[in-house]
Amino acid sequence: MRKAFGIGTLALLCAALAVGTAAFAGGGEECGAKSADAKHAKHECNMTAEECAQEMQKGMATRGWLGIVMDHDPSGEITINKIYERSPAEQAGFEVGDRIVSINGVEVGEKNHDKIYGNWKKSKIGDEVTYVVARDSENVTLKATLAKMPETVLAESLDKHMKEDHTYVKK
């Protein structure tokens, strides 16, 4: 079973990151994500909405949060399209339009999907993560110390997931 990841799929609880997210606010395993194409598939959940929300909340209680929203294109490129105020990403100097090249030395792309997703699943509040981003015509190295996801962002992510991505599959 492929796992969806990143902020888009679970609102950076499933795009998040992405890589989400690689220490984003995203990931997909909490709800038992099923996907043939992790970058583009509709998220299906074998849990009720309440069970899914509880699992997402539990997962984000200790997982590190960067504070970005990103887009994935078909080639696997990840572009930052939002940075939360007072987030680790803002403090580290991320900018809207940055394209993530690598995370802790692991190149972003389909070939490293499982490694990046696994690292994101292990990320903890307080972890320092090194990102290389492409900005204009150069690469920039940024270091961010991951934080706890604010309750308002978690609520926003849950709401977006339930409206856009959550599909309860009856057994």
Percentage of the chain with pLDDT > 70? 69
Is 170 part of any domain? no
| Amino acid 91: pLDDT | 98
**Structural domain of residue 123, as residue ranges?**
29-165
pLDDT tens figures, 37-59: 444 344 556 677 788 778 888 88
* C-alpha closest to that of 167 among 45, 39, 41: 45
Is 13 part of any domain? no
pLDDT of 83 > 90? The answer is yes
Is 148 part of any domain? yes
Is 91 part of any domain? yes
Is 6 part of any domain? no
pLDDT tens figures, 85-133: 999 999 999 999 999 999 999 999 888 888 988 888 899 999 999 999 9
| Amino acid 85: pLDDT | 95
Give the span between the Cα atoms of 122 and 130, in whole angstroms. Answer: 15
Indicate the number of domains in the chain.
1
CATH number of 130's domain: 2.30.42.10
Is 121 part of any domain? yes
Q: Give the residue with greater pLDDT, 140 vs 43.
A: 140
pLDDT of 24 > 70? The answer is no
Query: What DSSP string runs through the chain?
Result: -B---SBTTSTTSSSBS------SS--SGGGT--BSSTTTPPP-BSS-HHHHHHHHHHHHTTS-B--EEEEE-TTS-EEEEEE-TTSHHHHHT--TT-EEEEETTEEPSGGGHHHHHHHHHH--TT-EEEEEEEETTEEEEEEEE-BPPPHHHHHHHHHHIIIII--B---
Is 108 part of any domain? yes
Residue type for position 113: H
- Structure pTM? 0.71
